[in-house]
A and B are shown apart, each in its own frame.
Chain A
Amino acid sequence: MTFNFPRYILRETGHSMKRNPWLSIASVLTVMVSLVILGFSIFFLANASNVAQSFESQLEIAAFVKDDATAVQVQTLQSQIQGMTGVASVTIVTKQQALADFGKNMGGSQSNLVTDLGGTNPFPDKLTIKATNPQDVENLAAAISALPEIDTVRYGQGYVDKLLQFTKWLRWIGFGVVGAFSVASVVLISINVKMNVFSKRREIQIMKLVGASNGFIRWPFLIEGLTLGLLGGGLAALVVGMGYNWITMYIQSTLTFLPVVRNVVLFRQVLGGLLLAGMAMGAVGSGVSLQKFLHS
Chain B
Amino acid sequence: MIQLRNVSKIYPNGARALVDVNLKIDKGEFVFLVGPSGAGKSTLIKLFYRDETPTRGQVQINGKNLVRMKEREVPYLRRSIGVIFQDFKLLPNKTVQENVAFALEVIGVSRKEVRARTSNMLELVGLAGKENAFPNELSGGEQQRVCVARAIINNPALLIADEPTGNLDPETAWGIMDLLFNINKRGTTIVMATHARAIVNKMQKRVIAIENGRVARDEEMGGYGYDV
A interface residues (Cβ-Cβ under 8 A, vs B): 1-5, 7-8, 15-16, 19-20, 202-203, 206-214, 216, 295
Contacts and interface: CB of A to CB of B under 8 A. Distances in A.
B108 A20 contact: no
Interface residues of B, number: 30
A211 B105 contact: no
B93 A16 contact: yes
Nearest to A210: B103
Nearest to A20: B93
Q: What does DSSP make chain A's interface, helix, strand, loop or mixed?
A: helix
B17 to A, nearest CB: 19
Contacts of B111: 1, 3-4, 7
Output the residue of A2, A3, A16, A202 with the most chain B CB within 10 A. Answer: A3
Nearest to B150: A210
A144 B30 CA distance: 104
A295 B76 CA distance: 16
Contacts, number: 64
Given A2-B110, A3-B105, A3-B110, A213 B93 contact: no
B150 to A, nearest CB: 7
B102 A210 contact: yes
B108 A206 contact: no
A8 B85 CA distance: 26
B72 interface: yes
A211 B110 contact: no
8 contacts: A2-B108, A3-B110, A4-B111, A19-B93, A202-B92, A211-B78, A216-B106, A295-B71
A210 B78 contact: yes
Nearest to B108: A3
B75 A208 contact: yes
A6 to B, nearest CB: 13
Contacts of A207: 91, 102, 106
A211 B91 contact: no
B110 A209 contact: no
Contacts of B78: 208-211
